[in-house]
Structure 1
């Protein structure tokens, strides 16, 4: 079996890089959704949600960079065009969402889908002992599960 400089199997690392690029594309759409709801949110909860959405898009910006750097680390080239992002996107695109409940529901739905993708990557990276990708996916999953829980608690309060 041919390995790369990290000691990981080359073919399997290419699969991981591809999966990370799909995740990267979806995170870019998630990021843009967050920007949109941050800009367009209206209503009595504006001040709280405006700040929360900024916190979330800032966090997703960091994650986007981490994913792209991991793609490079395992030997791939990170996708970086809107065309690539749209082609690989699996998330709902939130357009002109100003309602607080719809905005929070978009976040929950998006994060739920990102979690599925991250778990698939975690499974594949575990199979080849890619601890760097494992650690990143584990961290993302733990943070996003907590965010989903908080957003669902908020949605229950607002019903």
Structure 2
């Protein structure tokens, strides 16, 4: 039998696990950058951005858990070491950023990179008839597109 207990093609599920682990790794790096932005932001937008970055990292932390649980649901093992995350991360890393414009630009670039990965997973999950992963990616994409629009409005 070439299907999982969920009725999905085993090979396609294994490929999805690899892609989801890449997304997990990128979200973990993004999360840590958001923590740094939250801690280090300065200037006239401090109060506004300090709260916003906390909102973003709390949301990212929830998404990390959802992604890891989806990997487990598909029969895989979620990556959980910083070494693994660093190898797979494509999102830019923010280091000692205190300027609001620079910080918000980093978040936009990070979300854009996450969207690229999520769209690949969306295609893979669609091809695998994996509605659980497909639905999760659709929700992530819609939310992040709106966030990018709002952050770009703030930047302009």
Name the TM-score, length of structure 1 as normaliser. Answer: 0.97
Q: Does 1:94 pair with 2:99?
A: no
Which residue is equivalent to 2:65?
Answer: 65
Structure 1 residue ranges (4+ consecutive) displaced by more than 2 angstroms after TM superposition: none
Which residue is equivalent to 1:134?
Answer: 134
Q: 1:107-122 alignment to 2 at 5 Å?
A: 107-122=107-122
Q: Does 1:56 pair with 2:56?
A: yes
Shift of 1:18: 0.5
Which residue is equivalent to 1:81?
Answer: 81
Flag structure 1 segments of 5+ consecutive residues without an equivalent: none
Which residue is equivalent to 2:5?
Answer: 5
* Distance in structure 1 (CA, Å) of the matches to 2:87 and 2:112: 20
Flag structure 2 segments of 5+ consecutive residues without an equivalent: none
Which residue is equivalent to 2:43?
Answer: 43
* Distance in structure 1 (CA, Å) of the matches to 2:48 and 2:93: 23
Shift of 1:128: 1.0
Shift of 1:151: 0.2
* Distance in structure 2 (CA, Å) of the matches to 1:63 and 1:30: 11
Shift of 1:91: 1.2
Q: Does 1:27 pair with 2:27?
A: yes
